[in-house]
Amino acid sequence: MTKHWSELEVRKGGTLSARKLADDPPAGLTRLLDERLVDLPNPVQGITTDGVVRQGLFPLAATGVSTKPITEAANRFLQALSAEQRGRALFAIDADEWRIWNNIHVYCWRHGVMLEDLPDATRKLGLNVLAASLSARGFEQARDIMRLNGLLAEVTGSAEEFGEWPYFLSFFGEPSETEPWGWQIDGHHLNINCVILGDQLVMTPTFMGSEPCDAHEGPLAGTRVFDTEERVGLDLIRSLDETQQGIAVTRSSIHPDDLPQELQHPFDGRMEGGTGHDNAVVPYEGIVGSKLSDAQRGLLRSVVGAYVGWTNDGHAEVKMSEVEAHLDETWFSWMGSTTDDGPFYYRVHSPVVMIEFDHHPGVVFNNPVPSRNHIHTLVRTPNGGDYGADLLRQHHERFDHSHGTHKPRH
């Protein structure tokens, strides 16, 4: 049986910081980070199944869901910053910094303004940007991830490596009701990229994770993250009959002894869509939605809805309609245990969404085998949807922005 994190030894704290760049980072870490920048010179075409982008999936179209609360929250926050802070927080809409995010706890490529450096009132204004963009559940989970990262500072005694507030907020383009813009939060286990164009919203890539995933005592007692995401995956895999499971389950174990090294990446574990993988080729795997019963398709919707539901309710409904249109070609694959406490990985993958859930070995806690004490989750929009890339392409094809104008080209 998997031990709870409170029963595990804590690894000895390192010398790296969550807040400033190390003078002499370990060569192994530098190599891993450099590998993630290899694709940066190439434009975002998006995750595909075969290297060919499927066109026409994300039309410019009114949603009827106002983005004004997000724009207003962003402007209030930016107005509260000093000129120097705004200079650090603001980037061009097409800046490379969109794609330079990482879920690891040490400072690597961070940019923007760090919430920890701000007065409480200004920090709250920054959090209001998240609250306006996310659903109540999504915002609570994001905050709980940050709070649990603060707990790590206490558990490890390493306040330099961890904390509730070493998270960096950046803005791309000027908040506007007509022009494209967006925001990003980047830090340990919390990386959200949100792009807004009119009343359309794209919130991918989004990475949420945590180690630990709960707290039994102290000020955070009762805090738990990813219960929903864990449960809906198990509900679906357990609903499959033996033949269906034989198709969906690609590996019966994610124990390190049972996996090749390429499925044990120190950042990604089994994930295919991690940072730097904006143009990854990820073939469909597992069982396809058209081969599921009506009840099982309902469970598949619930899996997707658990993640889409991180976004504010109106835009989540818009996204779920998009997902529903492609439910027959939505694939579900699984690695690992289907028991009540065993570790696992699953992926949901369609032309318009890719979701990954993964149990990881300990980083802070000394357990070398994946467990439910450490979870990574990721949501991507394949075929050019990430960072609103396809929407931005269409917008610039339709409108001329030269000389500061916004004129239709035709």
pLDDT in tens, 256-312: 999 999 999 999 999 999 999 999 999 999 999 999 999 999 999 999 999 999 999
Looking up tokens 């930016």 gives 78
Which band of pLDDT confidence, cut at 50, 70 and 90, is reported for residue 22?
Answer: confident
pLDDT above 80: residue 50: yes
Residue 377 has pLDDT above 80, yes or no: yes
Residue 325 has pLDDT above 90, yes or no: yes
pTM (two decimals): 0.96
Could you give the dihedral angle defined by the CA atoms of residues 388, 391, 397 and 403, in that order, rounded to the nearest 10 degrees? -50
> Considering only CA atoms, which of 31, 159, 178 is closest in space to residue 105?
159
Amino acid 262 reads E
The single-letter DSSP state of residue 143 is H
> 76-80, long-range: CB within 8 Å, 24+ apart, which pairs?
76/125, 76/128, 77/122, 77/125, 77/126, 77/128, 77/129, 77/169, 78/171, 78/175, 80/121, 80/122, 80/125
Is the residue at 36 inside a domain?
no
Residue 182 vs residues 9, 90, 97, 179, 336: alpha-carbon distances, Å: 41, 10, 12, 10, 37
Q: Is residue 8 part of a domain?
A: no
The predicted structure's pLDDT at residue 128: 98
Domain assignment present for 233: yes
The per-residue pLDDT for 11 is 84
Q: Residue 98 CB: number of other CB atoms within 10 A?
A: 23
Determine the residue type at 368.
Answer: P
| pLDDT for 405 | 57
Domain hosting residue 334, numbered range: 219-387
pLDDT at 236 over 60: yes
Please check the confidence at residue 400 and state whether its pLDDT lies above 80.
Answer: no
Number of domains in the chain: 1
Helices assigned H by DSSP within 240-344: 242-248, 294-308, 313-324
Residue 286's pLDDT is: 98
Tell me the C-alpha to C-alpha distance, in Å, between residue 98 and each of 81, 112, 177, 310: 21, 11, 20, 20
410, part of any domain: no
Among residues 366, 363, 355, which one has the least CA distance to residue 149?
363
In whole angstroms, give the CA distance from residue 209 to residue 141. Answer: 10
**Residue 394 confidence (pLDDT) above 90:** yes
Q: Is the pLDDT of residue 407 over 70?
A: no
Q: Is residue 47 situated within a structural domain?
A: no
Residue 72 falls inside a structural domain: no
- pLDDT range class, residue 31, cuts 50, 70, 90: very high
Question: Per-residue pLDDT tens for 81-138?
Answer: 999 999 999 999 999 999 999 999 999 999 999 999 999 999 999 999 999 999 999 9
List, in sequence order, every beta strand (DSSP E) within 141-261: 168-172, 181-187, 190-197, 200-202, 206-210, 249-251
Question: How confident is the model over 160-204, as pLDDT tens digits?
Answer: 999 999 999 999 999 999 999 999 999 999 999 999 999 999 999
Report d(CA 5, CA 370) in Å as an integer: 12
Residue 286, phi then psi, degrees to nearest 5: 95, -140
For the record, the structure tokens of 380 come out as 């991507």
Q: Is residue 261 part of a domain?
A: yes
3-state secondary structure of 46: coil
Q: Do strands 206-210 and 371-380 pair parallel, antiparallel, or not at all (unpaired)?
A: antiparallel
Comparing C-alpha atoms, which of 335, 139, 135 is closest to residue 233? 335
Residue 50 falls inside a structural domain: no
Q: 291 exposed, middle or buried (CB, 10 Å; 0-12, 13-18, 19+)?
A: middle
Exposed e or buried b for every residue in 220-236, given b needs 16+ CB within 10 A?
beebbbbebbbebbbeb
* Percentage of the chain exceeding pLDDT 70: 97
pLDDT at 403 exceeding the cut of 70:
no
Q: What is the pLDDT of residue 410?
A: 58
Sign of the CA dihedral running 34, 36, 39, 41: negative
Average pLDDT value for the chain: 95
| Residue-level pLDDT at 13 | 65
Range of weakest confidence among 218-222, 271-275, 312-316, 398-402: 398-402
Apex 195 CA angle, 89 and 403, nearest 5: 75
